[in-house]
Structure 1
Amino acid sequence: MNSVQLRELQAPLKNQFKDNPASALQTLRAVGTLGPDVTCELIFSVPPQTAGLHPCAGGDGTKACSAEMLLHALVGCAAVTLGAVATAMEIPIRGGQVVAEGDVDFRGTLGISRDVPVGFQEIRLAFQLDTDAAPEKVEKLIELAERYCVVYQTLKNSPRVISRSERVTHEA
């Protein structure tokens, strides 16, 4: 793909989002099913082997969107941490799902409006658990799962991120 092709892909989206800003606001979603032995089966609409543009940024929907992969990382980490904490607390969990949803306004990503931030505006995490545990035990379980989940804590308490460029030279 070259710059002309990219502009051609994105032009109708940019026009649509300018004319109808609400259409640029998309809720991305990730779901994981709790598994045995502190595992989580992640459900992907597109396998995350190759990252590409989201359809609202000009992608064709056959490549994994990195923002959705971030939500999947949150779901996987939260589910596995929940499983470990439930095991430690001796809370039997028969099954369930962990769901993450995040709202992205693609006007920011596409540079349509400098007033719109790039990235998630909000992320929601839901634990849907099949358990007979008392509500206060489930509340404590979720509190501890959030406390010890690396991805959750990283998103909640943004770390310093350092970016750099390295020149690669090709030998003849």
Structure 2
Amino acid sequence: MDKSELRAAQSPLKEKYKTNPEEAEWVLTAEGRVGDGIACYVSTDAGEVEAGLHPATGGDGSQACSGDMLLEALVACAGVTLKSVATAMEIDIEEGTVKAEGVLDFKGTLAVSKEAPVGFKSITLHFDLTTDADEKKVEKLIELTERYCVIYQTLKNSPMLKTDIKI
């Protein structure tokens, strides 16, 4: 997809959302089924994923780890956003990788220490790009990628989180 094709695909949506702002708000959902043992089967567009305990919490490594899945969602979103922004800016990315590293202290989730946080202490997003674009243009590319990446912004500015239960 080039800049004109991207613009053609997005322009009608942008106009619709400007004219009817309520149509821009969508409800995305994810669903999992609690499985046998300590597992949750998560439905994805690519098929079902069996999530379980990370080896640092007693898992055997045969199941997906939700912490890894969070980082994978960040990498996917950042990669797609990077390519969209690069296309709009007409920056040719010959090759590129996006990598997320998250630091977890498992003492928190295993209730070994009340002082240890439950969740990631830090997440670093790495971009390794091969491009002819100058440094200033690449800096702008990364700035805009961070600004428009849904997962990046969600992690940076935590949304209101609620729990609902039905028995």
Same fold at TM > 0.5 = yes
Gaps of 5+ in 2: 1-36, 39-46
Equivalent residue number for residue 9 of structure 1: none
Cα separation, 1, equivalents of 2:96 and 2:75 = 12
Equivalent residue number for residue 55 of structure 1: 55
CA contact (8 A) 1:48 1:69 kept: no
Equivalent residue number for residue 84 of structure 1: 84
Specify the code of the residue in structure 1 equivalent to 2:50: T
Q: In the TM superposition, what whole-angstrom CA distance separates every residue of 1:114-134 from its partner, at most 9, and x where no partner exists?
A: 010100000000110010100
Other structure's SS at 1:129 match: strand
What number of residue pairs does the alignment pair up?
A: 123
Gaps of 5+ in 1: 7-46, 168-172
Cα separation, 1, equivalents of 2:58 and 2:67 = 14
User: Superposition pairs for residues 69-148 of structure 1, below 5 Å?
Assistant: 69-148=69-148
1:88 Cα deviation from its structure 2 partner: 0.2
Cα separation, 2, equivalents of 1:132 and 1:150 = 27
Moved over 4 A (4+): none
Cα separation, 2, equivalents of 1:112 and 1:64 = 23
Other structure's SS at 2:93 match: coil
Cα separation, 2, equivalents of 1:164 and 1:48 = 24
Q: In the TM superposition, what whole-angstrom CA distance separates every residue of 1:54-86 from its partner, at most 9, and x where no partner exists?
A: 001110100000000000000000000000000
Q: Which has the higher contact order (CA 8 A, sep 6+)?
A: 1
Relative to the length of structure 1, the TM-score reads: 0.69
1:48 Cα deviation from its structure 2 partner: 7.4
Cα separation, 1, equivalents of 2:68 and 2:48 = 9
Q: In the TM superposition, what whole-angstrom CA distance separates every residue of 1:102-158 from its partner, at most 9, and x where no partner exists?
A: 000000010000010100000000110010100000000000000000000000000
Q: Percent identity?
A: 60
